[in-house]
Amino acid sequence: MDLEALRRYSALHPKPAGLTLQYGTAGFRSRAEQLDHIVFRMGLLAILRSKAVTATIGIMVTASHNPEEDNGVKLVDPLGEMLHPSWEEYATQLANAEEQELQKVITEICQKAEVNLHKDASVFIGRDTRPSSKKLSQSVIDGIQVLGGQYHDYGLVTTPQLHYMVCCQNTQGQYGKATLEGYYEKLSKAFMELIKQSHCSGENQKHLKIDCANGIGALKLSEMKPYFPQEVVIHIYNDGTKEKLNHLCGADFVKVQQKPPGGLDMKPNERCCSFDGDADRIVYYYKDTAGHFHLIDGDKIATLISIFLKELLAKVKQDFKMAVVQTAYANGNSTRYLQETLKVPVHCVKTGVKHLHHKAQEFDVGVYFEANGHGTVLFSKTAETKIRQLVKEEKDDEKREAAKMLENMIDLINQTVGDAVSDMLVIEAILALKGLTVQQWDALYTDLPNRLLKVQVADRRVIDTTDAERRALTPPGLQEKIDALVKKYKLSRAFVRPSGTEDVVRIYAEADTQVRQGVMKEVCFHTCH
Ligand code: NG1
Ligand code: ZN
């Protein structure tokens, strides 16, 4: 380790006195001006991680759906997954070390994680469109250079694009080419192959309006436009040329507010969707002829995809295990529909993509979505190999055609992480193939009225939860009060948990009618007092 370089560069990226930040569900998130030392040190950590696992590691500068003034950084592991939990702690230690302790902390991490500093290292960098992101990614590069290693700066990319690049690189191209062209070509080819088999695409069905949250999604969709087939005509709104990132628009705004984004003029029954600020989430919606807004969230996306995959799996007649993974925020009626009508097993895990991803890996086909629209589908190696083999060798036409569709789904889905662009193409393909309108999709089941609020409390860590965050263990008495309230209402459910990305407590409630959501007011009262 070049100690002189470490001293010199860390002095250029000083840690504000008294500031401690934690590597949470989505890495570090904070006001952008507090993050310079963090990103520099994450550059250091990315090199250590790369040396530890002898693979390329990704580092993404973004704060997703959070305000433009915020920023964040997270590391991407070799197959495009989130950073391994054992390293989250190292990230937090390195981020909070005083300057004079940096070398000691690096040495400790090297010892604990058996990092050989003489090994080669390689890091891929990406960033979103925030004004602060460019400078922060320069600081990442400073960190990388102090410990020495190769890097490739992809510049402006969506979060899922960076995950894809990392996976391609570490699988020697098996997953695809680690370039933007490689990504666009892979997705558009699979999409076109899929919709070749669709017979019903009226003129109206072709059009899709997309709110890009004034973020990176707009840039990347524009780049991808030449690759799009004429079967889909996309109209981009909130492209970042006029308004601020995530301001009154984007997937998070639409989901939380349950209303359309600003900047998108919506006519009755038009199919619309919103990406979030780094394009890893998507929600759909439309307005009916009476002017009512209908949200189609991650739960309904998971349901549509599950229906489609289940039908194909039945046709290929393999003993593949399929399941859906949700979190406590999944609407109760989505869970009921999946289990009782569709007869697909559903599992509930803690909030945060890494938990959903991990659980979904247990199945041949694991569909996972957070209600907020972050999700994807994972196929086991066994299932993927078998499906590709059936495409080549199966004599039965119906079976082979079904396998072909599954193969294209495998190629269209970004299996590394939720991806708004890829999910959008999956949804558009399924709607076209099944001849479904957005209203028919919406009518699969009716969401229970629900509310998600956040409240600021003195110390959110006093709330400890269990049972996939559906029950509060502490503070004493809180859960009992929620239980008593929930009992009063039909189909009612409510829970509180500390956020992993903001200094707030989130409160969720649902019940059979909106009026009965009065439960929400009362849960709020007990959480704050
Ligand atoms: P927190 O802040 O822990 O609730 C939020 C989302 C998660 C996930 C992460 C990462 C909700 C209720 N929570 O986590 O689902 O997306 O951000 O971005 O939407
Ligand atoms: Zn995001």
506 marked among binding-site residues: yes
Q: pLDDT digits over 181-224, tens only?
A: 999 999 999 999 999 877 765 666 789 999 999 999 999 999 99
Where does the pLDDT of residue 270 fall: very low under 50, low under 70, confident under 90, or very high at 90 and above?
very high
Instruction: Give the closest residue (by CA) to ligand 1 atom 4.
Output: 499
- Quote the ligand 2 centre to 232 CA distance (angstroms): 24
Q: pLDDT digits over 311-358, tens only?
A: 999 999 999 999 999 999 999 999 999 999 999 999 999 999 999 999
Q: Do residues 278 and 214 touch, judged by C-beta distance below 8 A?
A: no
Output the pTM of the full model.
0.95
130 marked among binding-site residues: no
- Quote the ligand 2 centre to 65 CA distance (angstroms): 6
Q: What's the maximum distance between 2 C-alpha atoms anywhere in the chain?
A: 69
Residue 501 has pLDDT above 90, yes or no: no
Q: Which residue in 64, 132, 274, 334 is the catalytic one?
A: 64
Per-residue model confidence (pLDDT) at position 198: 79
Instruction: Give the closest residue (by CA) to ligand 1 atom 17.
Output: 501
- Quote the ligand 2 centre to 38 CA distance (angstroms): 20
> Is residue 529 classed as helix, strand or coil in its secondary structure?
coil
User: Among 232, 234, 173, which residue's Cα sits nearest to residue 430?
Assistant: 232
Per-residue model confidence (pLDDT) at position 518: 61
Task: Say which residues have a Cβ less than 8 Å from residue 142's Cβ, sequence separation at least 6.
Answer: 9, 12, 13, 40, 43
Per-residue model confidence (pLDDT) at position 515: 59
Alpha helices (H) in 196-232, listed in sequence order: 216-224
Where does the pLDDT of residue 516 fall: very low under 50, low under 70, confident under 90, or very high at 90 and above?
low
Where does the pLDDT of residue 500 fall: very low under 50, low under 70, confident under 90, or very high at 90 and above?
confident
Instruction: Give the closest residue (by CA) to ligand 1 atom 9.
Output: 352
Task: Say which residues have a Cβ less than 8 Å from residue 408's Cβ, sequence separation at least 6.
Answer: 190, 191, 193, 194
Backbone CA torsion sign across 460, 462, 466, 471: negative
Per-residue model confidence (pLDDT) at position 373: 98
Cα separation, 165 vs 252, whole angstroms: 25
498 marked among binding-site residues: yes
Residue 62 has pLDDT above 90, yes or no: yes
- Quote the ligand 1 centre to 351 CA distance (angstroms): 6
Structural domains of the chain in order of their starting residue, each with its CATH number: 3-156 (3.40.120.10), 183-295 (3.40.120), 298-442 (3.40.120.10), 450-528 (3.30.310.50)
Task: Say which residues have a Cβ less than 8 Å from residue 358's Cβ, sequence separation at least 6.
Answer: 349
Cα separation, 423 vs 436, whole angstroms: 17
203 marked among binding-site residues: no
Counting from 1 in the atom list of ligand 1, the atom nearest the Cα of 255 is 19
Residue 144 has pLDDT above 70, yes or no: yes
**In the beta sheet, which residues pair with residue 376?**
368
Q: Is 30 noted as a catalytic residue in this protein?
A: no
Give the residue, out of 23, 73, 372, with the most ligand 1 atoms within 8 A of its beta carbon, to mutate for a pocket test: 372
- Between 62-71, 173-182, 482-491, the lowest mean confidence (pLDDT) is in 482-491
Alpha helices (H) in 413-496, listed in sequence order: 420-434, 438-442, 478-487
Backbone CA torsion sign across 285, 286, 288, 290: positive
Which ligand ends up closest to the CA of 501? 1
Q: Do residues 306 and 342 touch, judged by C-beta distance below 8 A?
A: yes
Q: Is the CB of 66 under 6 A from ligand 1?
A: no
Average pLDDT, integer, range 136-142:
98
Average pLDDT, integer, range 378-393:
98
Per-residue model confidence (pLDDT) at position 203: 65
User: Among 192, 115, 90, which residue's Cα sits nearest to residue 428?
Assistant: 192
- Quote the ligand 2 centre to 85 CA distance (angstroms): 19
Enter the tokens of residue 411: 């190629």
333 marked among binding-site residues: no
Residue 517 has pLDDT above 80, yes or no: no
Q: pLDDT digits over 2-29, tens only?
A: 899 999 999 999 999 999 999 988 999 9
Residue 524 has pLDDT above 80, yes or no: no
User: Is this complex's ipTM strictly greater than 0.95?
Assistant: yes
HSE of 280, CA atoms in CB hemisphere, 13 A: 26
Average pLDDT, integer, range 370-390:
98
Share of the chain above pLDDT 70, in %: 97
Counting from 1 in the atom list of ligand 1, the atom nearest the Cα of 371 is 19
